[in-house]
Amino acid sequence: MTDENNDDDVGTAEEDAQDTPAKAPMDPVRKWTLIVLGACVVLMFWYLRSDRVTPYTNQARVHALVVPIAAQVSGIVTDVAVTNNEYVSADQELLQIDRDQYELAVDTAQANLQTARQATGVSTANVDAARASVDASRASMVRSEQDAVRLRRIKEEDPGAISDRRVEQAVSALIVAQSRLIASQANLEKAIQDLGEAGEKNSRILQAQAALGQAELDLSRTTVRAPDDGLLTDVRVDRGNFAAAGTPLMTFIAIHNIWVQADFTENNLGHIDSGDRVEIVFDSLPGRVISGRVRSTGFGVAVSSAPLGKLPTIENDRQWLRDAQRFPVQVEFQLGERSERLGIRVGSQASVIVYTGDNWLFNFVGKIYIRIASLLTYAF
């Protein structure tokens, strides 16, 4: 009985296995479609997130302070001491302008200063003379006044002692003396006003000293010097050229303040703050990654606007997606060697990535990406 029961169970199991259909394998097309869609979703999420926390741009250029070098006085160029694209130090001589006319101007100003001092001395003497004249006129008036008083008293005490004419002459002499005193006082005031301040503070002397200072300044400006350490480019002057004051003769590029202007789209700016860590790849330094910091973020860019009295022009954009507006972000960096700073030229291109926070995964991937980009600069 036991064997028969076992045979029945085996038969039943085989029948059940035959009745249950085998699980069909997944269609390969569907499988890979799901994998690709999943990868696209992951990549889209990664792109959207990384574009916010580790924004990257290859639209960046090197900028520096560019100063046009112009003479401050006009004249014929007698010597050019530099060549194009030469490194210069602060206060180094660049070119020389003919000094003859400016040396003559200094000599003339010195002579005018001496003349002003002599004129001041004459005016001082005139004041002293006018003051002495006032003293003499006052003494004469006092004497005339005393004579008039004495004669009046005698006339009152003894009318016959002196004549009325004698008294009238004394009174007239007093009036004349008073008038002379008033005139001498006026002459004294005139002499004082003509003199002005005494000594070296006299206006004539100060004016002559100012003219001499200006002449000496113009003479010193005949030597054009470098404003700071940097590079000279676009040298367009040679010996014999006429240098007009204020007209640029060459261009100076200051290398002590070089920065990168990275243009990021508006949706990249949300997390960028001043001081954020930055890594830069310069096309001129292939294979190297330079560290830096965000200096500032631009607040606006130029847009076309109609002038007053004109109607605005509207440009129709029929695209589904408009081009993203970019804003400048200034990035500062430091290079120790002067040769490295000179190797980064103004206007050269760069790639920039900003680490806006402690997002270790995105930062790690960003570091790998920027280093791959640095290696690609050997070829592109």
CA distance 267 to 264: 8
CA distance 39 to 56: 22
List the beta strands (DSSP E) in 116-233.
Answer: 223-225, 230-233
All domains in the chain, ordered by first residue: 46-96+227-308+323-376 (2.40.30.170), 100-220 (1.10.287.620)
Q: Which residues contact 253 (CB under 8 A, 6 or more apart)?
A: 64, 65, 66, 67, 230, 231, 232, 233, 346
Q: Look up residue 310 and give its two tokens.
A: 């004109």
Largest Cα separation within the chain, whole Å, is 200
Q: pLDDT (tens digit, 0 to 9) for every residue of the chain, 380 residues total?
A: 445 444 555 455 455 545 555 555 667 777 788 888 888 888 888 777 778 899 999 999 999 999 999 999 999 999 999 999 999 999 999 999 999 999 999 999 999 988 888 877 777 777 778 788 888 888 878 887 777 777 777 767 777 667 777 767 777 877 887 888 888 888 777 777 776 677 777 778 888 999 999 999 999 999 999 999 899 999 989 999 999 999 999 999 988 889 999 999 998 888 899 999 999 999 988 999 999 999 999 888 887 777 887 887 777 777 777 778 899 999 999 876 766 777 788 999 999 999 998 888 889 989 999 999 999 988 87
> In whole angstroms, how far apart are CA 77 and each of 89, 293, 305, 317?
21, 44, 45, 56
The pairing of strands 230-233 and 86-88 is antiparallel
CA distance 234 to 318: 44
Please report the DSSP string for 283-351 in residue order: TTSTT--EEEEEEEE--------PPTTSPPPPPP---SSPPPPEEEEEEEE--SSHHHHHHS-TT-EEE
Query: Residue 350's CB: how many other CB atoms inside 10 A?
Result: 24
Type of residue numbered 36: V
pTM score: 0.68
Helices and strands (DSSP H and E) totals, the chain: 7, 12
